[in-house]
Amino acid sequence: MSEVESVPSAGGTAKAETPKFDPRILIFTCNWCSYAGADLAGTSRLEYPPNARIIRTMCSGRIDPVFVLEGLRDGADGVLVTGCHPGDCHYVKGNFRAEKRFHFLKMALKQLGVEEDRVRLAWISAGEGEKFSLLVKDMTEKVRELGPSPLKSSNIKST
């Protein structure tokens, strides 16, 4: 997964291995819509980068902000929360709750220096396989540009 680049260094042209940054993206999906959309991307054989890891819950309304924070701390460089389109929630309005919570989470994350594109919320229906694959592609590339997450425990110096 890493590419070897030759890096000219002072005093010679020694080859150094600088791995190209491969972000890890954590995706939360809901059982009824976005997980099914991800499945459809698979049934349709739509290729996307292998950087994402998916966790399934029954409803996007189940997603506690702590899950997102824990994800960032444990090594995710980006977190994507997905659920049903507004009005389509299998449990009536769980996704509205998720959106509200997410709004406050983003405000808190901003304070912590987490960039806008690192943590996102998206609505994916069970029929939107292509949208899912494009979203993963887009997220992966944007986070790749941003570099490793500032909240990664390995990046946080102990005090």
Partner 1 sequence: MEEPRIGVFVCHCGINIGGVVNVPEVVEYAKTLPNVAWAEGNLYTCSEAGLSSIKDAIKKNGLNRVVVASCTPRTHEPLFRSTCEEAGLNKYLFEMANIREQCSWVHSHEPEAATVKAEDIVRMAVARARWLEPQDEPEVDVADSAMVIGGGISGLMAAVSLASQGFKVHLVEKEPQLGGITRRLGKIYPTLEDSSDIIDPVIKAATSNENIRIYTSATLKDISGYVGNFKAALKRGTEEVKLDVGTIVLASGALNYEPPKGSFQYGVLDRVVTQLQLEEMLTQGKLAEPERVLMIQCVGSRTGEVWTYELSDMTQSFAARLLSKILGAKKEEGWPYCSKICCMNAIKNAIRIKEQWPKAHVDILFSDLRTYKEYEDFYRKARALEVKFIRYIREIPPEITEAPDKKLKVTAYDTLAGVETEFLCDLVALSTPLCPSKEDVMLARMLKVPLGPDGFFMEAHPKLRPVDCQSDGIFIAGTACGPKDIPESIISAKAAAARASILMANKKLKTEALTADVNTDLCIGCGLCEELCPYGAHKIENGKSKTIAALCRGCGVCAADCPRRAITMRHYSDRQILAQVEAMMAQ
Partner 2 sequence: MMVEKSALVIGGGIAGIQASLDLANRGLKTYLVEKSPSIGGRMAQLDKTFPTMDCSICILAPKMIECFRHPKIELLTYSEVKEVHGSAGDFTVKVVKKPRYVQADKCVGCGTCADHCPVELPNEFDSGMGVRKAIYIPFPQAVPRVYTVDKDNCLDCGLCNSVCNAKAVDLEQQPVELELHVGGIVVATGFDTYEPFRITSYGYGKYKNVVTAMQLERLLSASGPTGGRIMRPSDGRIPRTIAFLQCVGSRDQRFGYPYCSSICCKYAVKDAVLIKEHRPDSEVHIFYIDLRVFGKGFQEFANRAKKEYGVKFVRSSPGEIREDPETKDLTLWYEDTLARTVRSLKADLVVLSTALMPRSDSVELAKILGIDIDRFGFLVASDPVRHPVDTQVPGIVGCGYCLGPRTGDIPDSVMQAGAAAARLSEILMAESV
Which residues would be at the binding site for partner 2 (CB under 8 A)?
A: 32-33, 36, 40, 43-44, 85, 87-88, 125-131
Contact positions with partner 1 (CB under 8 A) in 117-136 = 133
Q: In angstroms, what is the minimal distance from the CB of 83 to partner 2?
A: 13
Binding of partner 1 by 103 (CB under 8 A): no
Binding of partner 1 by 4 (CB under 8 A): no
Binding of partner 1 by 156 (CB under 8 A): no
Nearer to partner 1, 8 or 74 (CB): 74
Binding of partner 1 by 76 (CB under 8 A): yes
Q: How far apart are CA 80 and CA 129, in angstroms?
A: 16
Binding site for partner 1 (CB under 8 A): 1, 24, 26, 35-36, 38-39, 41-43, 45-48, 50, 53-59, 61-64, 66-67, 70-71, 74-76, 90-94, 97, 101, 133
